[in-house]
């Protein structure tokens, strides 16, 4: 962040005051512990130009700094194709840092979604685009696990219901066939003999 510095009286330009900060420490949402979880966020440069798509903050960066001390130069060359992520509705996403030496935890399929970071202004002014993009990644298998479990439960309950219906139908047909084989009102063999013997 920077701002020009001018003399209060003459408004003569004196210089520029600038301050820099590490985004990973400024935005507490990007915690190193998120790297071991199934969901985390990545901050990306969304400004058109030579740095478009550059990964500014990633959980792997903090892990790398804690173990190696500094980031390798080739990490700054990695880009995220923001346009393909925006247009890939429902498609799985592959983390570009998954092939790095410390990126084994990210070598899986992800579901990704983007959102532009907008900075608030005064009450009567609309928020302005900051040029930054937040990409949220969620592990695909973890995200669809409830759906897979629901499908398995429904399949099991469907088989149980089909079995109960089959048993009920078989029992009903058994009773019908037994009734047809021995209709009501027809005497059993020997019934007349028992009646005659009782009369005598």
| Closest-CA residue to 43 (of 104, 122, 132) | 132
Residues facing residue 112 across a β-bridge:
137
Q: Which two tokens stand for residue 6?
A: 């001018």
% of the chain with per-residue pLDDT over 70: 76
**Helix boundaries (H) for the chain:** 23-26, 59-68, 82-87, 140-181, 191-199
CA distance 57 to 124: 32
CA distance 5 to 141: 53
Q: Indicate the pTM of the whole model.
A: 0.57
What pLDDT score does 149 carry?
A: 77
% of the chain with per-residue pLDDT over 90: 2
Domain boundaries, the chain: 11-140
Question: Exposure string (b/e) for 79-117, b if CB count within 10 Å is 16 or more?
Answer: ebebeebeeeeeeebebbbeebeebeebebebbbebeee
Q: Which residue has the higher pLDDT, 198 or 13?
A: 13
Question: Where does the pLDDT of residue 184 fall: very low under 50, low under 70, confident under 90, or very high at 90 and above?
Answer: low
pLDDT in tens, 38-88: 788 888 888 888 888 888 888 888 788 777 777 777 777 788 888 888 877
What pLDDT score does 107 carry?
A: 85
What pLDDT score does 25 carry?
A: 47
CA distance 36 to 60: 10
Is residue 55 within 8 A of residue 131, CB to CB? The reply is no
Is residue 133 within 8 A of residue 117, CB to CB? The reply is yes
Say whether pLDDT at 191 is over 60.
no
Q: How much is the mean pLDDT over the chain?
A: 76
Q: Which residue has the higher pLDDT, 127 or 192?
A: 127
Question: Where does the pLDDT of residue 154 fall: very low under 50, low under 70, confident under 90, or very high at 90 and above?
Answer: confident
Query: SS3 for 25?
Result: helix
């Amino acid at each position: 962040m920077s701002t020009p510095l001018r003399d209060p009286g003459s408004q003569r330009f004196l210089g520029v005051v600038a301050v820099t900060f590490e985004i990973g420490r400024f935005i507490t949402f990007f915690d190193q512990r998120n790297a071991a979880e199934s969901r985390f966020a990545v901050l990306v440069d969304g400004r058109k130009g030579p740095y478009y798509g550059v990964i500014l903050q990633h959980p792997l960066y903090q892990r790398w700094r804690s173990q190696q001390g500094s980031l390798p130069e080739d990490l700054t060359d990695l880009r995220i194709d923001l346009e393909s992520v925006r247009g890939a509705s429902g498609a799985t996403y592959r983390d570009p840092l998954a092939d790095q030496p410390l990126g084994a935890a990210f070598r899986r399929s992800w579901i990704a979604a983007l959102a532009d970071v907008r900075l608030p202004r005064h009450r009567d002014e609309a928020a302005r685009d900051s040029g930054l993009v937040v990409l949220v990644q969620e592990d695909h298998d973890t995200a669809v696990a409830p759906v897979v479990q629901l499908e398995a439960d429904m399949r099991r309950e469907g088989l149980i219901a089909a079995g109960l219906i089959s048993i009920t139908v078989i029992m009903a047909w058994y009773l019908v066939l037994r009734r047809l084989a021995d209709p009501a009102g027809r005497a059993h063999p020997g019934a007349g003999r028992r009646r005659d013997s009782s009369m005598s």
